[in-house]
Structures are given as structure tokens and as C-alpha cells.
């Protein structure tokens, strides 16, 4: 299955929204007697990785050529 442009943009927007939510939750003051079950900083890191991958895929879709580190 290949990711098309609408699917890539949808994943990019949803991941950006998840990053914004995790950022908001991470900035909330900690309650001393309540344990946080989710480490929101890890969620932010995962979101950044997914966004970078989707941006690279978006560039590949728009340019029509795969990205490579080599320039000859």
C-alpha cells in the first residue's frame, strides 16, 4: 500500500494536533498524589519523528523523485 497525498497530509495534521495536545498536557503542573500514566515528552518526540518522516514523504510525492543523500 502506498501513501497518497491526502493520506500523508491527514497523518501530518493529526500528528501535529497530537503534538500540540501533548505539549499542552506536559506543561500542566504536576499533582503530587496523582501518577501520570503517560510521559507526554516521549509522545512529543514520537510526534516529531513522524512529522519529519511525513515531510520527507511529502517532498518525495511533490517532486516525483525519491530523496537520497547522494548528489552526483
Residue 66 located in a structural domain? no
Residue 70 pLDDT > 80, yes or no? no
Top-confidence residue, 51 or 2: 51
Range of the domain at 14: 5-29+37-61
Residue 67 located in a structural domain? no
Residue 42 located in a structural domain? yes
Q: Are 3 and 28 in contact (CB under 8 A)?
A: no
Cα 44 vs. chain centroid, distance in angstroms? Answer: 8
pLDDT at 67: 66
**How does pLDDT run across 13-61, given as a tens digit for each residue?**
999 999 999 999 999 998 889 888 999 999 999 999 999 999 999 988 8
Tally of domains within the chain: 1
Residue 56 located in a structural domain? yes
Residue 69 located in a structural domain? no
Question: Whose grid coordinates read 511529502?
Answer: 58
pLDDT at 52: 95
Question: Whose grid coordinates read 500514566?
Answer: 37
H helical segments located in the chain:
5-26, 40-63
Residue 70 located in a structural domain? no
Q: Is the pTM of this model over 0.75?
A: yes
Amino acid at each position: 500500500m502506498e501513501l497518497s497525498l491526502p493520506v500523508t497530509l491527514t497523518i501530518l495534521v493529526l500528528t501535529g494536533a497530537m503534538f500540540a495536545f501533548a505539549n499542552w498536557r506536559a506543561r500542566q503542573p504536576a499533582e503530587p498524589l496523582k501518577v501520570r500514566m503517560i510521559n507526554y515528552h516521549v509522545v512529543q518526540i514520537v510526534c516529531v519523528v513522524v512529522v519529519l518522516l511525513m515531510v520527507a514523504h511529502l517532498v518525495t510525492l511533490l517532486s516525483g523523485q525519491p530523496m537520497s543523500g547522494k548528489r552526483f
